[in-house]
Structure 1
Amino acid sequence: MTGKRLGWGIIGASKIASEWLIPAINAAADSEVVAVLSSDAGRAEAFARANGIGAHYADAKAFLADPNVDVVYVSTTNERHVHDTLSAAAAGKHILCEKPMALTAEDARSMLDACEKAAVVLGINHHMRCMETHLAIREILQAGTLGNIVLARVFFGVELPAEAKRWRAHDASIGAGVIFDLTVHDADLLRFLFGNEIGSVVCLTGSTGSTSAGIEDTTMLVVKMKSGLLVEVVESFNTPHAHTGLEIHGTKGSLIAEDVLLQNGGGKVFIEAGGNRKQVPIDTVSPYLRVVRDFNAAVKGEGKPAASGIDGYKSLVAALCAQESSNTGRVVDIPQ
């Protein structure tokens, strides 16, 4: 496929697609959005008109038969990811799927197997890997600037937007709650930053009134990496005045990152050592553009997705183990 301009089709007329992925796909030099699929024909037509998309479908078979669609972006609700991915793989389409890739490890494994059998690329939209802040932090860690890492903490506190609350706060059957929304992100980010697998997790969850009964809106986790590093992770849907952040403390210095867990890719990173605080210069670039560029390169055989299907599987399994820990009150080892 080298040299070909890739046609992307969108499954699910979603806000994340219109706000983040479609602009990134169209901004990349080698791709464009050519079609959208929604189960509601009127919504598909309106979405296509609003986003300058040439073709719109309400019938999945017709959408997947469109010869202009090379790549499918699955942006439906969580419980639909497995069905939409399996259908796209059977049609020979390459797939970028939203996180979490599925709601069970078994479904996620079936997605991996189907894409391998069909010889199509599967990537998961763990976009935080592609933030310039996190790429810079990873380089700092790899350079040994902080010395031996002693401990780390992540704070991912947000207020869930009203539109997202329609299902993320109320419908357990489609993966509502913090664990499927935020814990999967943080699990992937920890694996990416430290270059190490998660070994075990203990998790407590709570609800502070922003979600329906039985659905967590707050989590506190202690994650133990295979290296032995301990990481505190705090996540919430109900903290409108909070800031997201990341701290990594080593024997030679500490890294403090502020407002680095949001979708726009901004934020600041500081290194503190010997009583001095120095800001790390970082450009702000849309992480989604890097997601798309890396995926396009993988389709052309020139690289691999920023987060592969295996990466998505491992972050999901870590989140499921956090859920198990919350349910049982035990430390849960992560299957390797």
Structure 2
Amino acid sequence: GLAQAFPGARILDGYDALLADSQVDAVYISIPHPGHAEWAIKAAEAGKHVLCEKPLALTAFEADAMMHAARKAGTFLGEAFMYRLHPQTRQLVELIKSGAIGEVRMIKSSFGFAMPGFMPEHRLYANDLAGGGILDVGGYPVSMARLIAGAATGLPFAEPDKVVGAAHLGRSGVDEWASALLHFPGGIIAEISCSISLDQDNVLRIFGTKGRIEVPDFWFAGGDRDVGPGRI
């Protein structure tokens, strides 16, 4: 168990005991998606900083409530897209801002993998646990598209003004593969896709008027995938 794997660690009896512990300053929420909002709000009310796994919430209403609770408590609330904090991402943004590939016109990115087969007991195939590819890995290419479109237009991130998408719903009703087109103000178009039942190349491609950038397995930021460096 956990106590054996981490000798000396204090093991608390439940989440409520964790939030009531004065020696705990911050919590990492990695429970199934439907519990994110409830426990992030409770953590903020207990004065704890929160790093929450993606997706931050299931709805915009939940996300607003979580942010309101953190602001009211004066605590930190962050969504755990680890690649956003990697030096590789910083360099990528700097390349876009410097005009290394000219004006950005199109972004293509995917994050998809294939489960061994249909597994109705697994959270990825469970509707009541908010399964499916969009909420599990779809946020990665969407957040990247918003980051790159923002960097190309002098903003921290950009919001699309048009979104068109389609998905295949499997036997349990969750999206097993999906794709979308995002149009940003200024003409940048992003083509994104995600899946839990289909392997994809998972390469980030950014096309500009003077060149393009390709980064394989971007979402792992070179952590544990031997796929070679990106290229411009």
Partner of 1:261: 219
**Separation in 1, partners of 2:215, 2:120:** 28
Partner of 1:270: 231
When residues 132 and 243 of structure 1 are mapped into structure 2, their CA distance, relative to the original with a 3 A threshold, is: farther
When residues 263 and 56 of structure 1 are mapped into structure 2, their CA distance, relative to the original with a 3 A threshold, is: farther
Residue type matched to 2:178 in 1? T
Alignment partner of 1:48: what SS? helix
Alignment partner of 2:220: what SS? coil
- Deviation sequence 1:6-49 (CA, Å, 0-9, x none): xxxxxxxxxxxxxxxxxxxxxxxxxxxxxxxxxxxxxxxx2233
CA contact (8 A) 2:177 2:198 kept: no
Q: Which runs of 5+ in 2 are unaligned?
A: 151-157
When residues 180 and 137 of structure 1 are mapped into structure 2, their CA distance, relative to the original with a 3 A threshold, is: same
- Deviation sequence 1:271-322 (CA, Å, 0-9, x none): 1xxxxxxxxxxxxxxxxxxxxxxxxxxxxxxxxxxxxxxxxxxxxxxxxxxx
Report the CA distance between 1:169 and its aligned residue: 2.6
Say if 2:207 is the partner of 1:249.
Answer: yes
Alignment partner of 1:159: what SS? coil
Counterpart of 1:233 (choices 178, 189, 192) is 192
CA contact (8 A) 1:218 1:237 kept: yes
CA contact (8 A) 2:105 2:187 kept: no
Residue type matched to 2:194 in 1? E
How well do the aligned residues superpose, as a CA RMSD in angstroms?
Answer: 2.2
Structure 2 length normalisation: TM-score? Answer: 0.86
**Separation in 2, partners of 1:226, 1:121:** 31
Alignment partner of 1:57: what SS? coil
Seq. identity, %: 29
CA contact (8 A) 1:128 1:189 kept: no
Q: Which runs of 5+ in 1 are unaligned?
A: 1-45, 272-336
Q: How does 1:1-336 map to 2 (within 5 A)?
A: 46-52=1-7, 54-160=9-115, 166-195=121-150, 196-207=158-169, 212-240=171-199, 242-262=200-220, 265=223, 268-271=229-232
Structure 1 length normalisation: TM-score? Answer: 0.61
CA contact (8 A) 2:183 2:190 kept: yes
Partner of 1:314: none
Alignment length, in residue pairs? 221
Q: Structure 1: which 4+ aligned runs deviate by more than 6 Å?
A: none
**Separation in 2, partners of 1:61, 1:215:** 31
Alignment partner of 2:78: what SS? strand
Alignment partner of 1:185: what SS? helix
**Separation in 1, partners of 2:171, 2:13:** 31
When residues 173 and 148 of structure 1 are mapped into structure 2, their CA distance, relative to the original with a 3 A threshold, is: same
